[in-house]
Homo-oligomer: A and B are copies of this chain.
Amino acid sequence: MTEPTRRRRNLVHTDPADVALQDALDALTDPVRRSILRELAGEPDFTRACGTFDLPVSKATASHHFAVLRAAGLLEQLDKGARRLNRLRRSEFDARFPGLLALVLAEGPSTDHDRVTCRPGEAASVPDSAGAGRS
């Protein structure tokens, strides 16, 4: 036996309750990571693999971003075959930082820093209630 080095099975998750505000902000400050969260919010849980996201970065960089989001308690991952499925930890993260995730999800789909600084007044429509409101 050659010591099965199962790295991929070694998925370390961080409970949102244990996340410091500093780490949460660090994770959310990156526009690529926010786009991941927004894209993930539009679909059911555990239906999107890491590779199915349309990101303007390389595969290695994308993997890094997913790891950061997981470490910040923002998403839960689950290995399904060769793919790694993702789930947005809406309610848990919102319980720790009320309203924060909702702001990210309400952000314009492509508000990197190009242009389109969304008009004030039309930025309060979340596609799916981020758990902030009552069920």
Contact of A17 among B22, B103, B124, B131 (CB under 8 A): B124
Contact with B along A6-47 (1 / 0, CB 8 A): 000000000111101110011011010010000000000110
Given the interface pairs A95-B126, A120-B96, the reply to whether A111 lies near B29 with Cβ below 8 Å is no
Q: How many copies does the complex hold?
A: 2
How many residues on chain A are close to B (CB under 8 Å)?
A: 50
Is the Cβ of B17 less than 8 Å from the Cβ of A120? yes
B21 pairs with A107, CB closer than 8 A:
yes
12 inter-chain pairs at a CB distance below 8 angstroms, sorted by A residue, are A17-B124, A20-B117, A20-B118, A21-B111, A45-B130, A76-B134, A91-B127, A92-B126, A92-B128, A97-B103, A98-B102, A126-B131
